[in-house]
Amino acid sequence: MADIIMPKMGDAMTEGKVVRWYKKSGDVVKKGEPLLEIETDKVNLDLEAEQDGTLGNMAAEAGQMVEVGGVLATILGAGEKAAPAPPVNEAEGASPPKDAPARRAIDKKDSIKKTTGEYAEAIDMKAPRIDRTAPAVNAAAAQDDGGWRRSSPLARKMAREMGVSLEQVRGSGPGGRIVASDIKSFQPPTPATQKAKAPSLPPIVTLETKQIPLSAMRRTIAKRLAESTGPIPHFYLTADYDVTNLLSLREQLNEIEGIKTSVNDFIVRAAALALRHHPNVNASWGDEAITQHGEIHIGIAVSTPEGLITPVVRNADQKSVAEISSEVRSLADKAKNRKLTPNDYQGSTFTISNLGAWGIEQFTAIINPPNAAILAIGAASAQPVVVAREGANDIRQIVVRDRMKVTMSCDHRVVDGALGADYLRTLRSYLEQPVRLVL
């Protein structure tokens, strides 16, 4: 018995085609007699019988592609019986099925696989690729790299555009590289995780007037809180600020001829600047939506013989302390002389009430609708404070500092506790590092 196989006729040949059979099953054949014609990449040629016998087990039809080494038929010697034909190992994707056009896309792939048969093998082997030329990433170096934050060019571009400081962002890429997704998912850190030392500000967000639709949760919170505590559900946050530097700065500023500022003028500017970082505080409750205001207008509570009125410093975030100072003085004069027009006292987005001049240390103010918050400013006073000695962190000492308590009343429908706290933290940066106010 002798198998007739598809022979390899060229170095790149992986399969051949049966063109036609000259003999049929059961035919008696003689050694050297042509049995069939095959077609390869290079040539068409006849395969001849290698021995006398009877042709059997014909496993490939005319037109069929057969892998190199595949059995095409068998020649049986006298007395030999035909074994059941083994399934022919047809070359992948080779034989043209009836529905060939419909399978075109697959055919294409198959035909590549067919001609570059090593792929399937490679995938099986899952050859590991070691990149010997790749630079080794030093993880330790990545951690402490002298302040330089590894970041992708795109991440840097996005950070620039969004006003995000890379220092605040934790990189998730190799070696701590900050990548685009880190910037996208960046949230300003909460106070708990914030290191007290060298506080940095959350990003300044581009202001725009927009409606934030009420979420179901927000509606529920609003409803519940209002039911419990009246139309505006208030809550209160108090912060104690070190205003030693602020007072000193004010003194320096007032030494300049023609300038006479009050502490409150600084607070107005600080409050306004802080709102730029937290536009969701510079907002108003509505039944259908919360409105974030595109501009920052600070109302200032002024007492008059008739009662309280809140004239407004418009676009306070864009004005210098000196400008605010002269505007507030003029508004206060108008108020006392009853010369305020509606334009002077309408449209505030945030309000400040300062009873420091009355020696009030701390108080709570009632929100001035439709604002979402109001600041109640107490009097600054000298206080003993425990601090670390300069240059020796482990030695503590008591020093005298000027402190000031500020209480923020928030409309809980708009401002949640953490948000109010964030705002007060930002305000701290401005009040305790007052140089930021004159930048």
Per CB under 8 A, does 136 bind other proteins?
Answer: no
Please enumerate, as own/partner, the contacts of 71-74 that have beta carbons within 8 Å and a separation of 24 or more: 71/3, 71/4, 71/5, 72/3, 72/4, 72/5, 72/6, 72/18, 72/36, 72/47, 73/3, 73/4, 73/25, 73/35, 73/36, 74/1, 74/2, 74/3, 74/4
Place of tokens 């108003």: 284
Q: Indicate the residue among 116 and 254 with the shorter CB distance to other proteins.
A: 116
Per CB under 8 A, does 304 bind other proteins?
Answer: no
Q: What are phi and psi for residue 52, nearest 5 degrees?
A: -75, 155
Minimal distance, residue 317 CB to other proteins, in Å: 30
Query: Which of residues 79, 133, 257, 307 is near other proteins by CB under 8 A?
Result: 133
Query: Which of residues 99, 121, 255, 287 is near other proteins by CB under 8 A?
Result: 121
Please enumerate, as own/partner, the contacts of 211-214 that have beta carbons within 8 Å and a separation of 24 or more: 211/286, 211/288, 211/289, 211/290, 211/291, 211/292, 212/280, 212/283, 212/289, 212/290, 212/291, 212/292, 213/288, 213/289, 214/287, 214/288, 214/289, 214/290
Q: Indicate the residue among 178 and 324 with the shorter CB distance to other proteins.
A: 178
Per CB under 8 A, does 170 bind other proteins?
Answer: no
Q: Which of 277, 278, 297, 412 is catalytic?
A: 412
Q: Indicate the residue among 118 and 255 with the shorter CB distance to other proteins.
A: 118
For residue 22, what are the CA distances in angstroms to 37, 47, 74, 278? Answer: 8, 10, 14, 89
Distance CA 103, CA 129 (A): 33
Q: Give the binding-site size for other proteins (rule: CB under 8 A).
A: 39
Q: Residue 370, preceding bond cis, omega within 30 degrees?
A: yes
Distance CA 70, CA 35 (A): 16
Per CB under 8 A, does 132 bind other proteins?
Answer: yes
Q: Indicate the residue among 180 and 247 with the shorter CB distance to other proteins.
A: 180
Query: Which of residues 20, 77, 116, 170 is near other proteins by CB under 8 A?
Result: 116
Query: Which of residues 31, 51, 97, 119 is near other proteins by CB under 8 A?
Result: 119
CA 244, distance to chain mean position in Å, is 39
Residue 340, amino acid: L
Minimal distance, residue 141 CB to other proteins, in Å: 17
Minimal distance, residue 6 CB to other proteins, in Å: 15
Query: Which of residues 7, 173, 175, 286 is near other proteins by CB under 8 A?
Result: 173
Query: Which of residues 48, 50, 52, 107 is near other proteins by CB under 8 A?
Result: 107
Q: Indicate the residue among 121 and 257 with the shorter CB distance to other proteins.
A: 121
Structure tokens at 151: 């970041």
Q: Indicate the residue among 173 and 286 with the shorter CB distance to other proteins.
A: 173
What's the burial of 326, exposed, middle or buried (CB within 10 Å: 0-12/13-18/19+)? middle
Per CB under 8 A, does 112 bind other proteins?
Answer: yes
Distance CA 425, CA 411 (A): 18
SS3 of residue 426 by DSSP? helix
Binding pattern for the stretch 66-105 against other proteins, x by CB under 8 A and - elsewhere: ----------------------------------------
Q: What are phi and psi for residue 166, nearest 5 degrees?
A: -60, -25
Best CA proximity match to 23, nearest among 99, 69, 74: 74
Minimal distance, residue 130 CB to other proteins, in Å: 9
Binding pattern for the stretch 7-36 against other proteins, x by CB under 8 A and - elsewhere: ---xxx-x----------------------
Distance CA 316, CA 313 (A): 6
Assess whether 412 carries a catalytic annotation. yes
Query: Which of residues 3, 33, 41, 240 is near other proteins by CB under 8 A?
Result: 41
Query: Which of residues 22, 50, 156, 205 is near other proteins by CB under 8 A?
Result: 156
Distance CA 36, CA 26 (A): 14
Query: Which of residues 86, 97, 174, 294 is near other proteins by CB under 8 A?
Result: 174
Per CB under 8 A, does 45 bind other proteins?
Answer: no
Q: Which of residues 178-237 bind other proteins (CB under 8 A)?
A: 179-181
Query: Which of residues 62, 122, 139, 387 is near other proteins by CB under 8 A?
Result: 122
Return the DSSP state at 63. T
**Is the Cβ–Cβ distance between 405 and 239 less than 8 Å?**
yes
List the catalytic residues.
412
Residues lying near other proteins in the complex (CB under 8 A) are found at: 10-12, 14, 41-43, 107-109, 111-112, 114-119, 121-123, 125-127, 129, 132-133, 152-157, 172-174, 179-181
